[in-house]
Chain A
Amino acid sequence: MNTKNDLILDINNLVVHYETVEGTVQAVNGIDIQVPHKHTLGIVGETGAGKTTTALSILRLIPDPPGIIKGGEIFLEGEDILKISEKKMRKIRGRDVAMIFQDPMTSLNPVHTVGAQIAEVVQLHEGLSRSEAIKRAGETLEMVGIPAERSTEYPHQFSGGMKQRVIIAIALACNPKLLIADEPTTALDVTIQAQALELMKDLRNRLGMSMIMITHDLGIVAEVCDDVAVLYAGRIVESGTVREVFKSTMHPYTEGLFNSLPVINDKGARIKPIPGLMPDPIELPEGCAFHPRCPYAFDKCTKETPELRYFGETHGVACHAYDQTGFKLKRRG
């Protein structure tokens, strides 16, 4: 395992709730995440599993009210960012940790040129003069494959894929140590997705960043990530290296995710979706949150919440089924 010093990000037992009129939304219920330097972690889960909430808490940008970080610690290079002042936090945002948002169409301010938007971040964090910042903006655009001359153009003059490149450029303008990408390719079409991913991979390797890739696309995880954490109802149900989770899947939910994918070399195969829906996060079922949809569920699952247990050094699974000796998922059977 990695020692504490190697970690850029270390989240311990993070709990985030949204307190609304209808009740308390239990978005994140005790998550542990470790990201070593120069590693990429994929966070996978359905809509509403708590992926974005986790990402926003790393930047301390949970909308408050109604969101409240109930407990836990988030260490960024050894410093607990939940305890520092807002002013200090602003210095970290954009400089140490940058975020790429889901929709490139709305993430850019329509009334400023793209160059000005990149320059703004640089000016904010590095105290460069306006002209130096503009020059730097041009260089950053070149880095993501857009000619520097286009920095005087407005977002509406760019296509979706180009806008996503601009957003990547803004995020990378200050050489962040950690890049959080929240479904960066969801709004793009498939060919552009591949380009954007390729670009992000390339830049990550060149700049030596760590990255958190939030997605519901297992293909992207396989493509880009080193480690993966599968989220269900605000908890990690399975985590490990990509190889461990993909090749020796252990959690019934992860198995369900893989069964929901079409298989390319078996044309007759039917997709087997997971039955049912994500539970309402206001009223999570008792015990394991997945038990109402789980084909392997037994008594204990309805009563006790399973803890993450480790098989091997890095492969963690939260499932009671492994209490039974010799238990194996059907997929691997």
Chain B
Amino acid sequence: MSNAVEVKNLVKRYKKAERNAVDDVSFSVSEGEFFTLLGPNGAGKTTTISILTTMLTKTAGTVTIGGYDIDKHEKTIRERIGVIFQAPSIDMNLTAEENIRLHASLYGLYTFMPMFSIMSEAYKKQVLMLAELIGIKDALFDPIKTFSGGMKRKLEIVRGLMHRPAVLFLDEPTTGLDPVSRRTLWEYLHDVRRRERTTVFLTTHYLDEAENADHVCVIDEGKVLLYGTPRDMKDRLVQEYLLLDADDRDGLLRDLSAWRTQIVDEHARPLRIRLRNNEQAQEIIRAAGVSFSHLDIEHPTLEEAYVKLIEKSTAETPATV
């Protein structure tokens, strides 16, 4: 079975640019995967997505989508992908239904008719169901201008899924949305993913959205810094801490000293103990004689790991003026 997305030694240098926006990037996304491309602003994420979605030519390297080479099967690839661009690409002067009708007609799903009432019954049925699904049934025939940011995004995603793409590209889909809109949007996306097995290719600045990705790929200045599961990324970059406290502080410290544990700050409350591995926590707790007044394990977030990675990478590259 071919990979949903296969990128090998991808290079993009914009005209008149002095350095490569994407510089020898390779990664692959298997079918049905939830893949996240991370990186700071200007890292090359949107450039990469633009190339993968046939919107931009590459300078070098190979790209295949669902086994189709992007140089030879542009149109086939376009049929098989759905794209949610960073900036909304819906027509603000049309109604929600008209935007959906345009998409369906452009992709050859239905024969275009100038009015909703004379479109085919199958189309009407599908649109009404979609509207129900994302809760815009009452606003279906209202101009998009009247929609909230979250509604527009949802409409775009629904529209982008109409032709049942094998891969859905989402370029910072939740930027600028309020937390509630962001959450409902993700609930919907996860639901779609579960039902449709759609491969999702995401770029985002909200690291919590990448927590349950199958793989993450971090790029900076056009180069891959890290590729792996979110778990790998955390293991490599951040530590877990055991949080302990006891009324008998001295007794606790004495118990811990036997373990040659790394205590971050002896005066902090509770004590933060850097863990080498998960088993270590068990051993420490079992061996301690004092009774604890506080016991917790601090799990680092992907965001912490990410920030560490980017800071490290920035420190290593000499500053360019």
Partners in one complex: no
B residues near A, CB below 8 A? none
